[in-house]
Amino acid sequence: MQAWVLVLCLLGLVYLEHVGCFMATAQVHCLRVSTGGSKSSMLRPLPGSRCPTRPLRARTHRGVAVLSAQSGTSRSDQNGVQLPDSNVKEVSVWLSDEIRQWLDDEWIPRDIHRDIGEIAAGAYEAAREKGVNEAGDILMEVANKMMEVNLYEADVGAFDIANKVTDLLLINDGRDVCCTAQPYSAGPGSSSVAVEDDALAVPPEAVAWTMPGSSFDRYQFLQQAIDGRAEPSVVDRAVLESLGYTVRKEAGTSVYDPSGVTDDRALGISSFVGNAQSCEVLQEMLEENLEEQNKEEEDLVPLVEALVGEAAFKMAKEEGDADFAMREVCVKWLHFKGGY
């Protein structure tokens, strides 16, 4: 009899253990994540859940960034930033071209960049046709659409593209947007601030130039810069971009945009090769950056000698070649701070 009681007790304990484990694992999750290549990999509420849904307000790089609404023609209230619904098709065409140029300039020209621009612009247009006017909601519409696209060949993600689309829309509406380059051209019905009369124009010889993609090509560029084969305006553009300048188009003209410049000493400079005063400023900045890294300028001499040859380097120094000295400081800067 006692044996049967013991067996029943053991069976009861096993049953309770199983019930406890089941209850512990049967938790209700409000959100789930789809990580596959499905239609959307966004966080979504389960059917019947009570999760609140609110329009997106803030945005940061690779996720969400601030939607700054300080001025402009659209409405900004408790319902978010409402964009005007005019010129939708024209804005869509403009967005497509802006996204393509942005990706080409940020990375290297690729066919997929054109496709990305067209798909993102199409997502914007489709959202507006559905009556979506709030900037954060448009961002989510574009992001969801881009998540359906294979971006393996691109260097950006769905939210990078969606963020850029929203930035462009807000700029086109005359709003101040933090930490983003200005559009290459004014959008349809643009309320954005016009370029100042003293904007630095990009010389024609440097308009089509882009930073070399490979380390070998960048090394070759330094060789051409130091020995004078590279166009001075092209070397200038390389240095300016390393200082934070970007190139954008306004009224059909390419101009340097200084919004990304972090050192005020670089503001207003349009050239280095042939401009001794600008090179003095660059030399001063180079020395400061070297000191911060516990390095000396002498550490860069072997690079210059390898680029131009020891004999030519020695001759230029002995002769006091001023033109060589200006190109030398540009090359040293590009190598140490510009990623060349």
Q: What confidence score (pLDDT) does residue 254 get?
A: 83
pTM here is 0.47
Task: Decide if 108 contacts 210 (C-beta within 8 A).
Answer: yes
SS3 (DSSP) at 13: helix
255-313 pLDDT, tens digit per residue, is 898 888 988 899 888 899 989 999 999 999 999 999 999 999 999 999 999 999 999 99
Q: What confidence score (pLDDT) does residue 233 get?
A: 93
**b or e along 73-86 (b: 16 or more beta carbons within 10 Å of the residue's beta carbon)?**
ebebeeebbbbbee
What parts of the chain have a pLDDT lower than 50?
5-8, 10-11, 13-77, 192-195, 197
Q: What confidence score (pLDDT) does residue 13 get?
A: 46
User: How far apart are alpha carbons 106 and 104 in whole angstroms?
Assistant: 6
Q: What confidence score (pLDDT) does residue 184 get?
A: 77
Q: Where are the beta strands (DSSP E) in the chain?
A: 31-33, 43-45, 75-77, 80-82, 200-201, 246-250, 253-257
Q: What confidence score (pLDDT) does residue 12 get?
A: 52
Return all residues near 203 (Cβ < 8 A) that are at least 6 apart.
233, 236
